[in-house]
A and B are shown apart, each in its own frame.
Chain A
């Protein structure tokens, strides 16, 4: 079946421009996550959606970053007035509803997309 898809795969933008990154989660996955991964680094949590609401925005690094999710499906991460330090791979992941884990307990497995590589020049 279809996995998590992200677009564009690569984005080069000039400093100061706004960018929008898109994530299409797996159908039926109610939870959606955005992460940022700088070169050679780990995964930095940005924001989490359950349905259309975002109970946890604690990872957004500044007010230039925002995200929305409509219809409980597609999500858009927007970065305004991009800076060079925003250059990174932005990963999206989705997971099943909490009550749809394997027998014996919840599954927290997240399914990741291929990421969008953002380069700010």
Chain B
């Protein structure tokens, strides 16, 4: 099974509120994490990434927090807008026979913005 999972399949928030999407991972050797946003009918798009030597990284209206002690990752979206409605996936770098290549994706959280 997948080593990356999410606590909630659906998250509903009011427009203008902050959103927090959580993710758990199990591979302590993972050193890179990434969040993707997938809008309906489209492929996933990069939001933000973070390396294991950091515990926080900020982008435009988004912040990713990494807690390696409990193997937990979160994505915070400030002042959510209707355009933030999408499915959000976390992913960690994936190890195969060829070494650390590729990504293992979590199951996704559907973020719904209420007007």
Contact = CB atoms under 8 A, between A and B. Distances in A.
B63 interface: no
Contacts of A67: none
A42 B107 contact: yes
Q: Is the interface of B mostly helix, strand, loop or mixed?
A: strand
Contact of A108 (B34, B42, B97): B34
B54 to A, nearest CB: 10
Interface stretch (B12-20, B43-51, B66-74, B76-84): B43-51
Interface residues of A, number: 28
Given A109-B46, A109-B49, A113-B43, A43 B89 contact: yes
B103 interface: yes
A112 B45 contact: yes
A41 B106 CA distance: 10
Contact of B103 (A106, A110, A115): A110
Given A108-B34, A109-B34, A114-B42, A42 B106 contact: yes
Interface of A: 4, 31, 33, 35, 41-43, 45, 48, 50, 55-56, 58, 91, 93, 98, 104-115
24 contacts: A42-B2, A42-B105, A42-B107, A42-B108, A43-B105, A45-B104, A48-B101, A48-B102, A55-B96, A55-B98, A56-B101, A98-B101, A105-B51, A106-B32, A108-B32, A108-B49, A108-B100, A108-B102, A108-B103, A109-B49, A110-B102, A112-B36, A112-B44, A114-B42
Interface of B: 2, 32, 34, 36, 41-46, 49, 51, 89, 93-94, 96-98, 100-108
